Amino acid sequence: MSDLKYLFEPRGVAVIGASHNPGKIGYRIVDNILAGGYRGKIYPINPRGGKIAGVDVCTSIHGVIHDVDVAVITIPAKHVFDAVMSCAKRKVKHLVIITSGFSEIGNSAEEKKIVSFARDNGMRVLGPNIFGIYSSQVSLNATFGPQDIKPGNVSIITQSGAIGIAMIGKTRVENIGLSSIISVGNKSDIDEADLLEYLVSHDDTRMILMYIEGVRDGERMVNVLSEATKKKPVVVIKSGRSARGAMAAASHTGSLAGADEVFDCIIKQCGVIRAERIQEALEWCKFLADAPKPGGDSAVIITNGGGVGVLAADACDKYGVSLYDDQDALKSSFGGSVPDFGSTKNPVDLTGGATGDDYDKSLSIALKDKHVGSVICLGCETAVFNAEKFTGVVKKKYRAYRSNKPVVFSIFGGELVENGIGKLRKENVPIFSDVYDAVSCLGALYSHERHARSAKPTYEKVQIDAKAIGGMVRQARKAGRHFLLAHEAHEVMSAAGIAVPASRVARDIPTAVKCAEGIGYPVAMKVVSKDIIHKSDAGGIALDLDNEQEVVDAHESILHSCKAHVPNAYIEGVEIAEMVKPGIETIVGARRDRSFGPIVMFGLGGIYVEVMKDVTFRAFPINRAGALDMMGDIRSYPLLIGVRGEKKKDIDTVAHAILKVGAIIRECPDISDIEINPLVVYDEGEGVKAVDVRILLTTRSA
């Protein structure tokens, strides 16, 4: 049994700060609890006693003789701690702290004091700075929002109070039933992950909608979300899509990983469906809370207009709905109900002359056909299109088949059509004037189903030599650095088993020549200095050196130019490296994200990486399949599987490199960021080369 049971099913609720003044929040909450028909006992608490909304008031919580599972606290911030102490004495289980004026305005100390006292005394805290909680299980509306809430099977968790309160009203207008709505506010104790854990095993909740602004314990959230979405659809609206750089991290990987891009990839990895707009999210909720499982993987479009059918096909592509494609089967199923000049190819085009009866007939076929997983039924107003007849058919078919196969409808036209849509929507029929809205609902359902059916990943230990890597880190720390020099970073790669170009560091010309001969011409040379970050700007790089003389000249020129460019630089030597053959340049990275813990990155690399922004992220761990899936996410993926007769590239070795950098970040807590750019990828079987590798250390000392 979850420890939040009595938050959702309290036997008794005290309202500390219940007010006699109907204009105050403390009155409103008591009134809402009463109006909502709460099935437990309510205890308004106010030192002045008397009656509030007709209920006897206790002057103190100590006066309540029955169980109080929840205390809603709605008194000014400076009095809250005292109230919490009195709740502890009374053995209250959950505190719902409405009061503002804590960490959201910088008063974190008081908030921490309250939470720590509450936890020490066996109480959990929801809030502070919230509008409260609604739970249909006991008809508890302990909020100061609207009174009229339709009970149902959608649960909403919201970080924003204003949006949450508005959503209560909006769900009523949209006829969406709620099993709960919970405001998390400052999330001082109970957060989204706690609530998800409870709601996922909550029978009355069929799907969960979350509005979030920021993630606190992202690593836990990833685990909880991945579990939750196996059982129920979770839709998220997260604001801050455009707030690029808000979480700019120290490394290049960080600068690419505006927090929202990371969030977007990771919640997708967890099987969460992200909505752009509140209205879209609510449409999905309404549909997902009511729709049966698809009867199969692909949909059939039935339409009276070619254009709208094409739009629907486009929308299917956008939202990941595949279309049933067996032309012979389609012909044999729909041939009898489509005129000769129509089409049985999917979209099934009944043509502009289609009547209500034609729709009735073809819908019946689609809904009975075991090959058809779901149906998209479209109508365009034409001379013979009778909106009333059509809506009658829709109503009949939807009622008859709603427990059998998902169906969405879209009709487009004038006043009669719009009126028909309005009437049907009131009865929760998924009908829309815009075909994209209809298809997006189906897309959300398929997206959830795909994730729920996918096998739970298993992880194998990735072999890296953490001891050798630790040695390199200590060496850098000893030298007072928070980053590794290029050759040290290469050694880390070798210790992890990622191929790097052969290289050695030379401190004088004869050694440089010897190294070059050992590696084999042509070679590249790079200055080694902690004081020179931008090597090429300082003239610290020479490429394609073919013989001894060129190495001698390059050595002199590098030292001369670097000294002129950064006069006080301490130069440790010059790195002589194998010239790397050209291949596909990718970028592979890993870092410890502030929200999500260890994350890995993969994308198209090279010098245009920031312009192309063709990168993707995953919370780590992932397994080999996850790494391959990640690679398939980027737009440039076709380059890796070979275009225009090119051979397939060594994607398996890239997948290993992704897993290895993730493992380094996980196992070596001193390393905060790794970026390999480029990781040059060769043809299948020929491996990769980590050319430039940047490794940053955490700023705390070892």
Footprint on this chain of ligand COA (rule: CB under 6 A)? 16-17, 19-21, 24-26, 45-48, 74-76, 79, 83, 98-101, 129-131, 161, 183
**Which amino acid does the sequence have at 620?**
F
Chain centroid, CA 557 distance in Å:
51
Q: Is 45 helix (H, G, I), strand (E, B) or coil?
A: strand
Element (H, E) at 452: helix 435-453
Go through the chain and tell me how many residues it has: 702
How far apart are the two ends of the chain, measured CA to CA in Å? 42
Residue 372 to residue 299: CA distance in whole angstroms: 6
For residue 561, count CB atoms less than 10 angstroms from its CB and return exposed for 0-12, middle for 13-18, buried for 19 or more.
Answer: middle
Residue 497 has phi, psi (to 5 degrees) of 90, 25
Say how far apart CA 12 and CA 84 lie, in whole Å: 16
- Give the span between the Cα atoms of 375 and 364, in whole angstroms: 11
Residue 612 to residue 591: CA distance in whole angstroms: 21
- Residue 405's SS3 state is coil
Report which DSSP code applies to 62: G
Contacts of 203 (CB under 8 A, 6+ apart): none
**Type of residue found at 656:** H
Cis peptide leading into residue 522 (ω within 30°): yes
The closest of 195, 121, 122 to 158, measured between CA atoms, is 195
CA torsion angle for 332, 337, 339, 341 (degrees, to 10)?
Answer: -50
- Nearest-CA neighbor of 305 among 384, 356, 380? 380
| Side-chain half-sphere exposure of 165, counting CA atoms within 13 A | 11
At 695 the three-state DSSP class reads strand
Which residues make beta-bridge pairs with 158?
A: 183, 211
Angle at 72 between CA 70 and CA 76, to 5 degrees: 150
Q: How far apart are CA 128 and CA 699, in angstroms?
A: 33
Least Å distance, CB 46 to ligand COA, is: 4
Closest CA to 609 of 525, 655, 698, 675: 675
| CB 408 within 8 Å of CB 438 | yes
Return the axis-axis angle of helices 548-565 and 509-519, rounded to nearest 10°.
Answer: 130
Q: Look up residue 643 and give its DSSP letter.
A: S
Rounded Cα distance between 372 and 594, Å, is 45
Give the pair of three-digit tokens for residue 257: 């990983």
Residue 562: both structure tokens together: 């670097």
In sequence order, the 6+-apart residues with CB closer than 8 A to the CB of 285 are: 154, 176, 207, 209, 235
Q: By Cβ distance, which residue is nearest to ligand COA?
A: 161
Shortest Cβ 239–ligand COA spacing (Å) = 16
Q: Which two tokens stand for residue 542?
A: 């020479």
Token look-up 């809402």 returns: 32
Angle at 35 between CA 30 and CA 37, to 5 degrees: 105
Residues 25, 31: Cα–Cα separation, whole Å = 10
Which residues, other chains included, contact 214 with Cβ-Cβ below 8 Å and sequence gap of 6+?
A: 159, 240, 595
Measuring CA to CA, which residue among 169, 428, 442, 155 is closest to residue 293? 442
Q: What are the backbone dihedrals phi and psi of residue 386, each rounded to the nearest 5 degrees, phi first? A: -105, 105
